[in-house]
Amino acid sequence: MNFKKKIKVLHIITDLPIGGAQDNTLHTIEELDKTRYELTLICNSKGPLLERAKKIPEIKLINLKYLERDIRPVKDALAFIILIKILICNQYHIVHTHSSKPGVLGRLAAWIIGIPVIIHTVHGFPFHDQMNGSLKTILIAIERSMARISNHLITVSNLNLIKIINLNIAPRHKLTNIYSGIDFKKFANHNNNSLRIELSIPDSTKIIGSIGRLSLQKDPLCFIRAIPIVREAFPDSHFILVGSGELKEKITQAIKKLRLEDCVSLLGSRDDIPNILHSIDLFVLSSIYEGLGRSLTEAIYCKLPVVATNVEGVPELVQNNNTGCLVEPVDEIGLAHGIINQLKNPAKARLMAEKAFEFVKSNFDVHSMVTQIDQLYKEIILKP
């Protein structure tokens, strides 16, 4: 194709909570050259990052209220019909979908309409090892079908790219790994004591933190169940969870049941993540599945020792006893022992954190990410 006018690109995502897929999408839209691209974002009106999206200059933001994370047949059908209408009216050159639900509805609508280029970013798989085997088989089959009608898939870790090939979801020539970049400038020159001051936590107390949606995927309840074990070794330690989600009430009940009210702080959604990361001593990722983990990447860039679950792309960032501590998912005892081991060996933990930092610094710059996406767009759209 030969373009004298701007290339029209549509990005589709469900909602805009604080999360890796959302941050990746917004960074891409913010950084792409507006003199060459005419950009549109479709999402629903939920999530604290919506205000950030509204402030991006020279883009069109479309609210699709029926587009939600959970499977809701009536709303999904309405969202699909509206997507078809939007695509017919606007004649985009590229449709770029993010996450599972938009990846199905958006790609299928784009294929039906005959959009020239369909790209999907695999921020994480809709299936995982903890789910029912039959359901997993069905979801893999759906991903294979969607990959066939896609021009290209972007992964956020090489391990996920390999998994796609091994599961015969897509061939190698349709795959490109582009690490989900972070804005390094956001994490410079922050107050290391702001959270301690806010929560009245003494300097001598170790703060162990986790950041992410309070959802089944992130398994924050495993983190909560690990706390009593950690407190046996470090009775003065304090624990924080940053994020919101459907498990908040269950987490609150678990904290009360385990009598942890004095040592656990639920901070909700926050816009001062850099300050929080610079205030804590250890970062925990307890997910049962994870594309890579934006909060994990950010914690590593802040040179924090980390304990993370051995799922999907995470081992690409955290190699056990080399750049951090890896534990198995849904195992509060293993998670607790990982935390205790890091706290008992601070010199080794700092050395591993330094190694992990160097890897993130070299591979996760947001500007490099957008440059690679821009290059991919040009390569695919200019193919004869």
Q: How confident is the model at residue 2 (pLDDT cuts 50, 70, 90)?
A: low
CB atoms within 10 A of CB 49: 21
Q: Are residues 207 and 353 in the same domain?
A: yes
| Residue 196: domain span | 186-363
- Percent of all residues in the chain with a pLDDT value above 90, rounded to a whole number: 86
* Alpha-carbon torsion angle 90, 39, 95, 67, nearest 10: -90
Q: Are residues 94 and 15 in the same domain?
A: yes
Q: Are residues 45 and 192 in the same domain?
A: no
What local confidence, expressed as pLDDT, does residue 1 receive? 55
Long-range pairs, 372-377, Cβ under 8 A, ≥24: 372/176, 372/178, 373/28, 373/32, 373/154, 373/178, 374/32, 374/33, 376/119, 376/152, 376/154, 376/176, 376/178, 377/7, 377/9, 377/37, 377/94, 377/117, 377/119
Q: Is residue 292 in some structural domain?
A: yes
The answer for residues whose C-beta is within 8 angstroms of residue 345's C-beta and 6 or more apart is none
Q: Are residues 77 and 212 in the same domain?
A: no
Question: If 0-12 CB within 10 Å is exposed, 13-18 middle and 19+ buried, where does residue 281 land?
Answer: middle
Q: Are residues 163 and 219 in the same domain?
A: no
Taking the alpha carbons at both ends of the chain, their separation in whole angstroms is: 7
Q: How confident is the model at residue 384 (pLDDT cuts 50, 70, 90)?
A: low
Q: Are residues 200 and 224 in the same domain?
A: yes
Query: Which pair of tokens denotes residue 268?
Result: 């909700």
Q: Are residues 119 and 215 in the same domain?
A: no
What local confidence, expressed as pLDDT, does residue 86 receive? 98
Q: Is residue 262 in some structural domain?
A: yes
The answer for residues whose C-beta is within 8 angstroms of residue 125's C-beta and 6 or more apart is 139, 143, 160, 163, 289, 291, 312
- For 182, which DSSP code? B
> Mean pLDDT score of the chain, rounded to an integer?
94
Torsion sign (Cα): 96, 44, 32, 299: negative
> What is the pTM assigned to this prediction?
0.91
The partner residues of 62 in beta bridges, in order of sequence, read: 42
Q: Is residue 44 in some structural domain?
A: yes
Q: Is residue 314 in some structural domain?
A: yes
**Mean pLDDT within 114-123:** 97
Q: Are residues 93 and 206 in the same domain?
A: no
Q: How confident is the model at residue 124 (pLDDT cuts 50, 70, 90)?
A: confident
Instruction: Give the CATH number for residue 196.
Output: 3.40.50.2000
What local confidence, expressed as pLDDT, does residue 128 receive? 79
Q: List, for residues 265-278, the tens digit of each pLDDT value.
A: 999 989 899 999 99
Q: Are residues 290 and 374 in the same domain?
A: no
As for how many domains the chain has, the answer is 2
Query: Which among 113, 169, 174, 110 has a CA at the least distance from the CA of 142?
Result: 169
Cβ atoms of residues 150 and 170 within 8 Å: yes
What local confidence, expressed as pLDDT, does residue 61 receive? 97
Answer whether residue 69 shows pLDDT above 90.
no
